[in-house]
Amino acid sequence: MGEAQPLFAMLRQSAQPDIVEALERLVREAPDRKLGRVNALAFASNEGLDEEQTINAFLHASRLGLFEMSWNVLCPGCGGVLDANTSLKTVQSDEYTCALCAAGYEPTLDEMVEVTFTVSPRVRRIDAHNPHELPPLEYFRQIYWGSGVNLPEEDYEAKVDEFVMESLELPPGEKAVISLQLPEAFVIIFEPVTHAAQFLNVKGAPTKERQSLSLVFDRAHRHHETINLRPGPLRIVVENHTEVRTLPSVCLANDALHALLGNRRPFLTANRLLSNQTFREIYRTDTIDVDQRLKITSLTFLFTDLRGSTELYERVGDLAAFDLVKTHFAILNEIVGAEAGAVVKTIGDAVMATFPTPHRAVVAAMRMREAMLRLNKERGSEDLLLKIGIHEGPCIAVSLNERQDYFGQTVNIASRVQHLATSREIFATGSVLEDPRASELLAQRGLTPMSHNVMLRGITDQISVFTIP
């Protein structure tokens, strides 16, 4: 911990003091299990800290080497980690399969990839740095389940005992036998290291004859097919053909299991992090490989442009106009970052920004308009006339021109909606205003958007566009 003191001193230069103090306390005092795959949103909530500033602090702490980031592909069903990556670049599969849920999923950055933070071993050694030495219950808690599964702090072992019938540690190359009495129930034999599962549908008349089952754990067989058995004695022969310890467990698919896994909490998604200004500034091009195409089911795009900027240069001269436009960019950047967004790029006098939710984009747009009005009033002129367009929808995260960028029809529509706006107007599509928090925000401010249907170039159908007064 002594080595970390200079790093925390450096962190105070880029993160809020109260958050740095909370992080330092976490590293110094928390039990080991609290320092592996930290959920930044849960940490902020528990400590009463601002979410965005806490995310920023974890990012700066990772840059300094206090924490290590992990990009974990999750099963949206059970919340288990299907694949852990030190970089988003290694999320390469078109489909991930969860043996526990017997389902395959195409990864999406806003539903299936979480970002967590583990204390660096150079700062403090914790048990999770050697996961294959963790007791089985702690392996499940610290390694298998994602940070969105809100596992109980107290009585964790007792709650697990309500659905786990048998469990064992099986060294590499070893064979073992599990003997038990099967009740009439749906039973799952699950192995979290190789992500293998065997389903047993136990029903019918009880039997006294011993039933037998053999399972091999080798990372290739997932044991998806359900086997029908009768209540009574069962002998399970398990073999570990991997190079590491495996942890087969026999579980009842009962209410206790569903209650444990059903208790969820928000987590930091890859989508949200890609729309974080601090993340983009720190990691820049080192995010997505040039050949990667990563799906996002919902992202909000905001485009701005200055009306009459050519005339501005003509009227006040290149140098004065450039300084004015530069000031306008700085104001917009600050507002975007404050509303959990990120500036993707500037194009001439225009800005393309992303936000994880529509309501943050709407707030940012109104703040931008107000900021330009104030700046014009201070200057005693109408030089900065901002046009804003907002649209939400699915897209693809890509790497273009050495920059993490976005591609798809949602981006095209957002850009064209902005072109419809005249000076001081905010245009938003129906998908933006259908967001409950966005509509509630406007209602609270007494604003009633005016609707009109428009045709956009390259878009077959009319779309509803709303002017936010």
Which pLDDT tens digit goes with each residue over 93-132? 788 888 888 888 888 998 899 999 999 999 999 999 999 9
Q: Are 167 and 248 in contact (CB under 8 A)?
A: yes
Considering the domain architecture, whether residues 330 and 423 belong to the same structural domain is answered as yes
pLDDT at 319: 76
Q: Are residues 321 and 432 in the same domain?
A: yes
Q: What is the pLDDT of residues 429-451, one digit of tens each?
A: 999 999 999 999 999 999 999 98
pLDDT at 461 over 80: no
- Predicted pLDDT at 222: 67
- Based on the fold, state whether residues 17 and 119 are members of the same structural domain: yes
Q: Which residue has the higher pLDDT, 349 or 67?
A: 67
Looking at the structure, tell me whether residues 239 and 312 fall in a common domain.
no
Please report which confidence band the pLDDT of residue 252 belongs to, taking 50, 70 and 90 as the band edges. Answer: very high
Q: Is residue 461 part of a domain?
A: yes
Instruction: State the average pLDDT over residues 206-218.
Output: 94
Distance CA(70)–CA(52), nearest Å, equals 18
Spatial strand order in the sheet of 196-202: 164-167, 249-252, 185-191, 196-202, 227-229
Is the pLDDT at 309 greater than 70? The verdict is no
CA distance 185 to 202: 5
Point out the domain boundary residue: 80, 105, 130.
Answer: 130
pLDDT for the residue numbered 323: 82
For residues 211-219, give the mean pLDDT.
Answer: 92
Position 104 in a domain: yes
pTM, to two decimals: 0.90
- Is residue 200 domain-shared with residue 304, that is, in the same domain? no
Considering its fold, how many domains does the chain have in total? 3
Q: What is the pLDDT of residue 38?
A: 98
pLDDT at 55: 97
Does 142 fall in a domain? no
Domain for residue 8, yes or no?
yes
Q: Taking the CA of residue 456 as centre, how many other CA atoms within 13 Å lie in the half-sphere pointing to its CB? A: 24
Same domain, 316 and 398: yes
Residues 312 and 366 in one domain: yes
pLDDT digits (tens, 9 = 90+) for 163-204: 999 999 999 999 999 999 999 999 999 999 999 999 999 999
Q: Give the distance, in angstroms, between the CA of residue 421 and the centroid of all CA atoms in the same chain.
A: 33
404 pLDDT higher than 90: no
Q: What percent of the chain has pLDDT over 70?
A: 96
20 exposed, middle or buried (CB, 10 Å; 0-12, 13-18, 19+)? buried
Asked if 12 and 116 sit in the same domain, the reply is yes
Answer whether residue 241 is part of any domain: yes
Q: For the chain, report the end-to-end CA distance as a whole number of angstroms.
A: 54
Shared-domain flag, residues 316 and 445: yes
Kind of pairing, strands 164-167 and 249-252? antiparallel
In a domain, 449, yes or no: yes
The torsion of the CA quartet 139, 141, 145, 149, rounded to 10 degrees, works out to 180
Alpha-carbon distance of 51 to 56, in angstroms, equals 9
Co-location of 361 and 422 in the same domain = yes
CATH number at residue 393: 3.30.70.1230
User: Is 154 contained in some domain?
Assistant: no
**Are residues 440 and 319 part of one domain?**
yes
Say whether pLDDT at 89 is over 90: no
Q: How far apart are CA 257 and CA 162, in angstroms?
A: 8
Q: What is the pLDDT of residue 423?
A: 76
Residue 365 pLDDT greater than 80, yes or no: yes
- The residue from 236, 253, 270 where one domain ends is 253
283-298 pLDDT, tens digit each: 876 678 767 788 999 9
What would the pLDDT profile of 24-75 be if each residue is shown by its tens digit?
999 999 999 999 999 999 999 999 999 999 999 999 999 999 999 999 999 9
pLDDT of residue 455: 74
Q: Report yes or no on 318 lying in a domain.
A: yes
- Structural domain of 8: 4-130
Q: Which of 79, 109, 130 is the last residue of a domain?
A: 130
Do 232 and 311 lie in one domain? The reply is no
